[in-house]
Each structure stands twice: as C-alpha cells, then as structure tokens.
Amino acid sequence: MRRIFRDPLMGCSRVSTTCVIGLQWGDEAKGKLVHLLAEQHEIVVRYQGGANAGHTVVSGTETYKLSLVPSGILVPNVRCVITGGVVLHPPALLAEMDGLTARGVQIGENFMISDRAHVIFPWHLLEDRLLDSERGNGESIGTTQRGIGPCYRDKVGRNHAIRLGDLFRDNFPEQVERTVAAKRAALSGICSGEDLATLDVANIARDYQELGARLRPFAGDTTSYLLDATESGKRILCEGAQGALLDIDHGTFPYVTSSNSSGVGISNGSGIPGRWINKVLGVVKAYSTRVGGGPFPTEQDNDIGQQLRDRGNEYGTVTRRPRRCGWLDAVAIRYTARLSGVNSLAVMLLDVLSGLPELNICTSYELNGERTRNFPSQVEDLRRVTPVYETLPGWEEDISGVKARSSLPKNALAYLARIEELVGRPVEIISVGPERNQTIHG
Ligand code: GDP
Ligand code: IMO
Ligand code: MG
C-alpha cells in the first residue's frame, strides 16, 4: 500500500516568511526596517554575515547599533535567531549582548544561536588584516577587518573550521592546538613575531571555552527550530546583512563580502526552503553609498557626494569610515531586485535629497559604445561603464515630518514613480528619517 505524505505547504496561506534584503552595497537602513516590521512577526532571523554588519535602530530617545544580534531584539515577544550561516565572533557577540542587557534589553529565552555557526578566532582577524592589504593592484577590498572572509574560507575549506558546537566538547583544546599549528606555519612568512605570539594555544582555548560556556544556554539546532516554526505557520522575518551588490557569487567580485548577501542567500543561510519564503522586501537608499574598495559607477567624488555624506551622515556604522556617495543607480537596483526575487521596495533616506536642485538617476550604462541595462559580470567592465543619467527636478521642502505619500512634494512623488518604473517593482514603504514614525506606508 502506498503511504500518503502530507505536504506541510498545503494551504500555504499559513506560511509567512518575509525577508528584508539590501539592494545596494549595504547600509540601506535595513535595521530601521526590520525593527519596524518585527512587531508583526514572531521570529527575526539573522542568517549570513557577521560583525561586519552595523544595523542602526532608533527607538524613542535611544539609538542602538546592532551587529550580530537581530534587530528584532528590541521588540517584546519576538524570538531572535542567529543561524548557522552567520560567522560568530564570540567576544563581539557577548559584548553586544552585555551592552544591550545593560540598557535594559531582555536577552534570554527570546534568543537562540545555531550550534552550526562557524566561529571567528584571533587568527581570522590577523589574516583579514594581513591579506586584505595584499592584493597588489592598488585597490584593496577594504574589509571591515572582522575576520569574516578568513572564517568563511576555513568553513568552505573544512580542515581548520571550528563551529560553536565544538567549543562545548572536551577535545576543543586539541582542535585549537592543531589549528594554531597550521595557521602559524601558514602565516610565519608574512606576519611579525609579535602577531604570531598572539596565537597562543592555551590562552585561546581557555578564553573561547569561557566564552562558549556563556553562549551555551542560547545554542541549539536553529535549522530544525525554523523548519518546525515554518510548518506551524509562525510569522518569520529574515534580516539580510550587507547588500546584494556585495554578494559573493553575484556581486562586484572580488569587492564583495564572503557570504550570499542577496536574496539567493536566504535559504542556504537560514535553512528555510526557498518555496516557503513568500515575500522579499528590497531596501534601497534614495541615492547610493559604498564603503571600501571596488567600482561604483555613479560615485560623486565632488561637492554633491560631500553634500550627501553630510546630510545623510554617511560614515560607517562599524568602522566609521566615510562612505563613498553618489546618485541612485537603477541599473544596479533592477539587477539586484530581480536577483533577490523582490516583491516590493522600501525607499529609505528620501529626506536626505531635500534641497538638491536636480537629481540624477542612472538609467543605463554605456559600455564599448553601446547602451545596456545589464549589470556587468566583470568588475573590469563595471569600471569602464559610463552611467547614462536622467535628470529629475528636486524639491526644496523638508519632508522629514511627512506622514502620507500624497503629502510628499510632487517632485518627490515623481522621483519615486521613476524608481518604480526603472526597477519594475512598487514602492511599498518610504522612509523620511531615522525614527520609526518617520515612515510612510503604502
Ligand atoms: P543598515 O546597515 O542597512 O541597517 O543601515 P545603517 O544603520 O548602517 O545605516 C543607515 C543610517 O541611516 C542609520 O544611521 C540610520 O539611523 C539612518 N536612517 C535610517 N532611515 C533613515 C531615513 O529615512 N532618513 C535619514 N536621514 N536617516 C535614516
Ligand atoms: P550592513 O549589514 C556596508 C563591505 C566592506 C568591504 C566589503 C568586504 O551594515 O549593511 P568584509 O568585512 O565583509 O569582508 O568586507 O564589504 N561591507 C559592508 N559595507 N555595510 C555592511 O553591512 C557591510 N559589510 C561589509 O566595507 O568593502
Ligand atoms: Mg550598516
């Protein structure tokens, strides 16, 4: 007799997983949005990246800079989950947790960390520092130096990878010993004796065992937890880190981060099957910014760029580096919206554009004498494109207090409408200031 299996997705109106994905080079104000949407969800999930992320949440008079802890942690009755797709630096995570607790934020039963998450060790920080400056073509990636790339490299390489669950085992010190021996051998030619001395087996094993003991109460199998949660119809919000143009496979390689930061990474990072994800909200800053190296066709290394930087306070949340600023690039956003399976857009920091007499939007690229709306796969080509701009009139009014879309200046409405046309997705949310009430829905 044939057994009949029930498809848990039958009657899939119960399935409710939404994802917030940055569509540029990061810092699109995902943190604000996740915090805002978290109220309508039961679970908020961080599923890729690590402490390279800096997500700002303004809540009343308080400003929080979240790095590893999901931005839903500030909302009561929301369970926050860090999955195995994230690379964890225990000192950074615990410092962040302690900082939040000291400010009265509850972190207990509402917090879970995957025991599959790969752990960042001192050698990863060292490698990040030594190897990023080594590219030799005059432009380094300009990483956040948080050990992200080296840790993901060891994960894929497998031989020297250590996961959170390993910290709890008796043979952990031997694992550290083996790994330190290999790292010392690999690094001895390129790093100073002082740096090598920081790779001390006994100290690292002891410190990480202590840190692990503090994290253990939160550790568990988040994959099974999220599969159960999805099947039982829990409302889940996935919080993307970085932006789709920094995606390791589909971004501006090699000037990218080491995880799948576009929509394609949601499933592999979280363990939630793709067909269970029913909404992807693409987050777009109303202009463009980039931190670190790599091509940036619409960059304005001039007064306009400086004006955007000043008005938007465009300095890195993690490293405080000044962000490179430029015009909105609809070629890039159309590409990342399609790549990420975006249903609708959230346009953030629209208020920053007030007072600019004219606004440029890049509508196509010119490459080798031809116009294209395709985003090049090779950075060498992206470096050579000439952006083709359409100029729209700006608006003078301060819009930071506007509550309804219909109350926006007509030129701001025209700017949004043009983004919708060029990207091919509706704008569902408009942000006109860092605070949650500076948000226009619909
Ligand atoms: P994330 O990494 O995508 O979460 O973004 P960041 O937090 O790194 O950077 C976004 C910055 O913009 C933060 O300082 C936010 O407080 C701020 N912000 C968010 N939304 C708005 C907005 O609509 N207008 C303005 N002026 N600032 C905003
Ligand atoms: P959020 O989540 C902006 C950039 C770095 C560098 C490149 C690789 O706040 O949007 P990495 O340390 O990841 O190896 O650095 O990626 N980068 C970000 N830029 N926002 C981020 O995160 C970023 N995370 C990494 O500046 O160019
Ligand atoms: Mg950020």
Contact 50, 151 (CB under 8 A): yes
What is the H or E stretch that residue 426 is in?
A: none
Task: Specify the pairing of strand 62-66 against strand 55-59.
Answer: antiparallel
Quick one: pLDDT at residue 316? Answer: 86
For the ranges 1-5, 96-100, 294-298, 316-320, which has the lowest average pLDDT?
A: 1-5
What spacing in Å lies between the alpha carbon of 311 and ligand 1's midpoint? 12
Total residue length of the chain: 442
pLDDT at 46 over 80: yes
What is the H or E stretch that residue 126 is in?
A: helix 122-132
Q: Is 107 exposed, middle or buried (0-12, 13-18, 19+ CB in 10 A)?
A: middle
Quick one: pLDDT at residue 136? Answer: 60
Please work out whether the CB of residue 58 comes within 6 Å of at least one atom of ligand 1.
Answer: yes
Residues designated as active site: 27, 55
Quick one: pLDDT at residue 131? Answer: 85
Please work out whether the CB of residue 265 comes within 6 Å of at least one atom of ligand 2.
Answer: no
Task: Specify the pairing of strand 235-239 against strand 43-46.
Answer: parallel
13 vs 335: which has the higher pLDDT: 335
The backbone region for 26, taken as left when phi is positive above 0, alpha when psi lies in -120 to 50, beta otherwise, is left
Please work out whether the CB of residue 284 comes within 6 Å of at least one atom of ligand 1.
Answer: no
What is the H or E stretch that residue 150 is in?
A: helix 148-157
Local structure of 225: helix, strand or coil: helix
Quick one: pLDDT at residue 8? Answer: 55
Half-sphere exposure at residue 332, Cβ-oriented, CA atoms within 13 angstroms: 35
Please work out whether the CB of residue 167 comes within 6 Å of at least one atom of ligand 1.
Answer: no
Quick one: pLDDT at residue 135? Answer: 60
The conformation of residue 82, written as its DSSP 8-state character, comes to E
**Residue percentage of the chain with pLDDT more than 90:** 90
**112-140 residue pLDDT tens:** 999 999 999 999 999 999 987 656 667 89
What spacing in Å lies between the alpha carbon of 13 and ligand 2's midpoint? 35
Contact 319, 291 (CB under 8 A): yes
**210-221 residue pLDDT tens:** 999 999 999 999
Give the separation between CA 241 and CA 25, rounded to whole angstroms: 10
**Residue 290: partners with Cβ closer than 8 Å, 6 or more residues away:** 24, 25, 26, 296, 299, 323, 324, 326
Q: At what angle do helices 172-187 and 122-132 cross, to 10 degrees?
A: 20
pTM of the entire predicted model: 0.96
Contact 291, 314 (CB under 8 A): no
User: In the structure encoding, which two tokens stand for residue 343, read together?
Assistant: 């249903």
Quick one: pLDDT at residue 138? Answer: 73
Shortest-distance ligand to the CA of residue 313: 1
Mean pLDDT of the chain: 95
pLDDT band at 43 (very low <50, low <70, confident <90, very high): very high
Residue 72: name the closest of 102, 115, 112 by CA.
Answer: 112
Give the separation between CA 383 and CA 297, rounded to whole angstroms: 7
Per the listing, tokens 């949310």 go with 429
Task: Specify the pairing of strand 324-326 against strand 288-290.
Answer: antiparallel
**187-208 residue pLDDT tens:** 998 888 899 999 999 999 999 9
Nearest atom (ligand 1) to Cα of 22: 3
pLDDT at 267 over 70: yes
